[in-house]
Amino acid sequence: LDGNLLAVFFQHLCFVCPFPISIRSGVSERCDSVARLLRKGCGEEFIDNPRVKVEVNASPSSSQVAPRDISILLRPGSEASFLVEVQQLEQYPVDLYYLVDVSASMQDNLDRLKTVGMTLSQRMKEHSSDFRVGFGSFVDKPVSPYINVHPSKIINPCSDYEVNCRPAHGFIHVLPVTENMVEFKRVIQHQRIAGNMDTPEGGFDAMLQAAVCQDIGWRPEAKHLLLVMTDQPSHLALDSKLAGIVVPHDGRCHLVGNTYSQSANMEHPTIGQLAEKLLENSIYSIFAVDQMQYKWYEDLVDFLPGTYLGKLLPKALNLTDLVVDAYKVDSEAHRFWVNITALCPNGSTVTGNSKCSNVQPSQKVQKPPDL
């Protein structure tokens, strides 16, 4: 066998010892056949042979795709097959939650949102007759050195500029997702800017709370869109140590009276934590960011699955088109090859990007993908 064939051969026959058992040419040898691992001194009870594993959540689903959750364990080079049923819904439910940076530098964008918010909602109704919106705001952790802790500055951080600002906050959940557009408009009109000291904001704190808290009102059967509007990067996990905050984030909801209660006590979540919670709760993030910060978020999106990044023009002039474009984009699965053969209601089969034709809302299409 040449080197490439030998590598493929061992991918399928290799058993693993959980600890180094011999060193040859400075390389730890933990992967081999069972007989060789035993001869090298690895106890039989420790030898592991990870196998392909497919677990399907068979609980009833009112969504377009069933099952909603499939857990797959694959080894490099291995394959798995499973069956997915897709049905055309009469209504495609969509929940959009606005998560807006209301720091002072976002004044123009916030003013624009007050006028464009309803327009965006109307545009989205062209793609979903069952569309709901919610709203939340964030600034930063309300502790030094992120804010000025002089008593007068805590009450009004913008007093030096003769502007009446609201106090800084980590995250405030203002409006659960609702179909009441009149209430949504009222909430937007009442938003005011806040103030803080440093450039990065506490966006990751707010995103995690928006993902995990039941109070947001995410519907299980809906597509979840989390629209993050900001003109600055976000603080990362270890930044909190500047404020003496050393308790790692626990990844849980901490809303008390619609306000994130642990902002001054827990670190910002790690990128890995945030990605995990977004996946667990089927959240698609949309970053609408200032052009100056686009590169920072461009380096980030590869670590947050299901994320769309768009440049926000001055005064949020392109916000409507940005969100609609993000809604139309399909998420991609990286590092996997997927082959789908669809079994159409009329008995025909189609493969690849081909589609079943004339599918009615009551009919189902079966798609057994090979992964």
**Residue position matching structure tokens 């959750």:** 69
**Same structural domain, 176 and 308:** yes
**Same structural domain, 243 and 323:** yes
Q: Report the pLDDT value the prediction gives residue 27, as an integer from 0 to 100.
A: 53
Q: Report the pLDDT value the prediction gives residue 126, as an integer from 0 to 100.
A: 82
Q: Report the pLDDT value the prediction gives residue 308, as an integer from 0 to 100.
A: 94
**Same structural domain, 195 and 273:** yes
**Same structural domain, 40 and 183:** no
CATH number at residue 192: 3.40.50.410
Q: Report the pLDDT value the prediction gives residue 171, as an integer from 0 to 100.
A: 97
**Same structural domain, 256 and 350:** no
Q: Which two tokens stand for residue 130?
A: 């069952």
Dump the DSSP string for 46-97: G-B----EEEE--S---SSEESS-EEEE--TT---B--EEEE--SS-EEEEE
pLDDT along the chain (371 residues), means of 10: 40 69 59 82 79 74 68 74 67 90 86 79 82 94 89 82 85 96 89 87 97 96 93 93 94 96 96 96 94 93 92 86 84 58 82 75 66 56
**Same structural domain, 203 and 295:** yes
**Same structural domain, 59 and 167:** no
**Same structural domain, 278 and 351:** no
Q: Which two tokens stand for residue 142?
A: 């309300």
Q: Which domain holds residue 198?
A: 93-328
Which amino acid, residue 367?
K
**Same structural domain, 324 and 348:** no
**Same structural domain, 139 and 78:** no
**Reported pTM:** 0.75
The count of domains in the chain is 3
Q: Report the pLDDT value the prediction gives residue 214, as an integer from 0 to 100.
A: 96
**Same structural domain, 129 and 60:** no
Say how many Å lie between the first and final Cα of the chain, rounded.
27
CATH number at residue 345: 2.60.40.1510
Q: What whole-number distance in Å separates Cα of residue 302 and Cα of residue 308?
A: 10
**Same structural domain, 163 and 311:** yes
For residues 142 and 169, the answer to whether their CB atoms sit within 8 Å is yes
